[in-house]
Amino acid sequence: MEEKEKIVLEAFKKTGKPLRPGDVAEMTGLDKKEVSKIIKKLKEEGKLIVPKRCYYSLP
């Protein structure tokens, strides 16, 4: 797993609630587009789920 993927997952662990890609970008300091790509990849790998539209969370 890449370092940036770990950073994104850590943001979800810290909050413990569903987040939008923009929220994660603000928390981590990463670019919003980059965060969106990482979230998409993590979702495909089953590491994130979509509890409601435009929000993501840990399974």
Domain boundaries, the chain: 3-44
Digit-by-digit pLDDT tens for the chain (59 residues) are: 799 999 999 999 999 999 999 999 999 999 999 999 999 999 999 999 999 999 999 99
pLDDT at 10: 97
The values of phi and psi at residue 35, to 5°, are -60, -40
pTM of the model: 0.92
Question: How many angstroms separate the most distant Cα atoms in the chain?
Answer: 27
pLDDT at 1: 77
Q: Length of the chain, please?
A: 59
